[in-house]
Amino acid sequence: MTTRVTITSMGAGGDGVANLPDGQVFVPFTLPGEVANIAREKNRGTLMALIEASPERIDPACDHFEACGGCALQHWEADAYQAWKRGLVNDALTGRRLDFVLEPLVPCLPHTRRRAVFAARRSEQGMLFGFNRHQSHEIIDIHECPVTVPAIVGRLGDLRQLATLVATGTKPFKLTVTSTASGLDIAATGCGLPEAGKRRALTAFMLEKGFARLTCEGEIILEPKKPLMHFGKVAVQVPPGGFLQATVEAEETMAALVMSHLARTKRAADLFCGSGAFTFRMAEKMAVHAVESDAAALAALDHAARNTQGLKPITMERRDLFRRPLTMKELNRFDGLVFDPPRAGAEAQAKEIAKSTVAKVAAISCNPVTLARDLAILVEGGYRIDKVVPIDQFLWSSHVEAVALLSKGR
C-alpha cells in the first residue's frame, strides 16, 4: 500500500520530510515541494513514484545514485543544495542564540575526496566491490564515483582484484583506500590476517600495481613506498587509516583561515592535532604544542618534525582531551589555539578554554550541533565570535564542516 505525500522541507540528514497527521515521515531522494507516492514503515518512507517533481531537481552525476548509499543529494540543483548546507550551520548556531557572522559556503568540487571506504564480499557471482546500499548492508557493485579523486577511481579494477586476494570466505570486509603523494595506501579490516601463501600473492600483486602500502587488521603486509601527505611544506608518513581532512582543498581553506586568525600568535596549541595538518603550517610562523590521543598519529607527527628543518619549536603530548582536557592554567601559556575534535565536539576542553586568557581561538568541526554547543560555552566565558565559515567538504552528503574564529580581550 502506498501513501501520497507532499515534501515540505529537507531534514538535517538529507531526506525529504513529509508532515502527516501522525507525525513526520522521512523520504530519501526527494526534494521540498515534490509530491510522491511512498511505501511507509513507521517514520521512514521509500519513494515509489514521483508525481510532481521540484524545479530544483536535476539529473544525478552518477549511475549508482539512489542505489549506492554514498551520496544523498546529487539530484538537487547546486545553489539550493549549497544554501541548505549553509543553513545547517546557521540553524545550529541560531538555536544557541549566538551572535555571529556567517560567511558564504565554500563549495566542494567533484572528484576531490582523497579517501574512500569500500565494502567488499566474495559472492557466487564474483567479487562485489563498492558501497553499501542506502541504510542497508547490501553491497552495490560500482564502476564509477564522481566524488572520489581519479587516482582512486581509475584503479577500481585493480582494487577489485586486490579485494579478491584479500578475501577469506564470503564474509564482508572493508578496504579503506587513501590517495597519497606516494601512491594508494590500502587498509583492509574485517578480513583477518593472510596466511603465508596469500601473503606471497599479495606481495607480487602490490609490487606489480605500484601500490604504496597494504595493511590487514592494522598489520603492515607490504610497504614498498612510505605513504606521504604534505601538510604545508612538510611531508608526513601517515599511519594506516589515520584521520585526514576529506579533501586537500578543504584542508587548505581551513588552514588559511587558521593562519590568518593566528597571524600575530607567538606560541599556540593545536588540540586534537592528528598527524599535524595544522601543526606544521602553524610551525612555519610560531611555536606549537601539539596534543593528540592517537599514538600512531602522534608518532607520525613526531617523525616528520624531527626530520624537517626550518620550523619553529614543536612540542608534543599524548593526552585524551575528553577525559583530561588542558586546564586553564596550562592554556594560559598560549596566545592562540586551534581545536578540531571528532563529531562529539570538545565540551570539556571548551569549558577550560572559556576560563583561559588565550586571545585567539579557531574552532573546527564537522558537526554544527556540537560546534554550536562548544561556541556557546566559549561565548559564556567572554569570547566573541568574529566569523564562521561553512565548508562543503563532504559533497552531496548531509555533512558540513565549519570553522569558527573567536577572540577574547580588546
- How far is C-alpha 30 from the chain's CA centre? 24
pLDDT at 410: 61
235: cell is: 611531508
Which three three-digit cell numbers place residue 391?
Answer: 565548508
Give the tens place of pLDDT for each residue, 75-134: 999 999 999 999 999 999 999 999 999 999 999 999 999 999 999 999 888 899 999 998
Q: Which amino acid is at 124?
A: E
DSSP 266-301: SEEEEET-TTTTTHHHHTTTSEEEEEES-HHHHHHH
Active site residue 68: no
Domain boundaries, the chain: 1-57, 82-109+244-407, 115-228
Both ends of the chain: CA-CA distance in Å? Answer: 64
- Strand pairing partners for 267? 287
Could you tell me the three cell numbers for 252?
587548505
Whole-angstrom distance, CA of residue 254 vs CA of residue 248: 10
pLDDT score recorded for residue 170: 86
What confidence tens digit (pLDDT) does each residue in 363-404 have? 999 999 999 999 999 999 999 999 999 999 999 999 999 999
Specify the residue for cell string 603550517: 281
Q: What is the mean pLDDT of the chain?
A: 96
CA-closest candidate to residue 378, choices 339, 323, 334 = 339
pLDDT at 409: 83
The verdict on whether residue 374 carries a ligand-binding annotation is: no
**Angle CA 58–60–63, to nearest 5:** 150
Q: Give 2-5 contacts, CB < 8 A, sequence gap 24+.
A: 2/37, 2/38, 2/39, 2/48, 2/49, 3/37, 3/38, 3/39, 3/40, 3/45, 4/35, 4/36, 4/37, 4/38, 4/51, 5/35, 5/36, 5/37, 5/38, 5/45
Do the annotations mark residue 292 as ligand-binding?
A: yes
| 126 and 157 Cβ atoms separated by less than 8 Å | no
Distance CA 73, CA 154 (A): 24
Cα radius of gyration (the chain): 23
Please name the fold of domain 82-109+244-407.
Answer: Rossmann fold (3.40.50)
Nearest Cα to Cα of residue 131 among 110, 112, 150, 153: 153
Mean pLDDT in each 10-residue stretch from start to end of the chain (410 residues)? 93 95 95 96 94 97 93 97 98 97 97 97 90 89 96 97 92 96 96 91 96 95 96 95 94 98 98 98 98 97 96 97 98 98 96 98 97 98 98 96 92
Q: What are phi and psi of 62, to 5 degrees?
A: -130, 140
Residue 394 among known ligand-binding residues: no
Residue 120 CA to residue 128 CA, distance in Å, equals: 5
146 and 110 Cβ atoms separated by less than 8 Å: yes
Catalytic residue among 62, 68, 71, 366: 366
Task: Read off the pTM.
Answer: 0.94
Same CATH topology for 82-109+244-407 and 115-228: the answer is: no
Cell numbers given for 64: 549508482
Q: Could you tell me if 117 and 108 are in contact, meaning their C-beta atoms sit under 8 angstroms apart?
A: no
393 is in an annotated binding site: no
Residues 6 or more apart whose CB falls under 8 angstroms from that of 54 comprise 31, 32, 33, 34
Architecture of the domain whose range is 1-57: Beta Barrel (2.40)
- Alpha carbons 260 and 266: distance in angstroms, whole number: 13
User: For residue 136, what pLDDT is reported?
Assistant: 86
Name which of 186, 193, 190 is nearest 219 in CA terms.
193
The pair phi, psi for residue 86, each rounded to 5°, is -60, -35
Evaluate whether the domain defined by 115-228 bears CATH number 3.40.50.2000. Answer: no
Q: Label residues 25-50 b or e (16+ Cβ within 10 Å = b).
A: bbbbbbbbbbbbebebeeeebbbeee
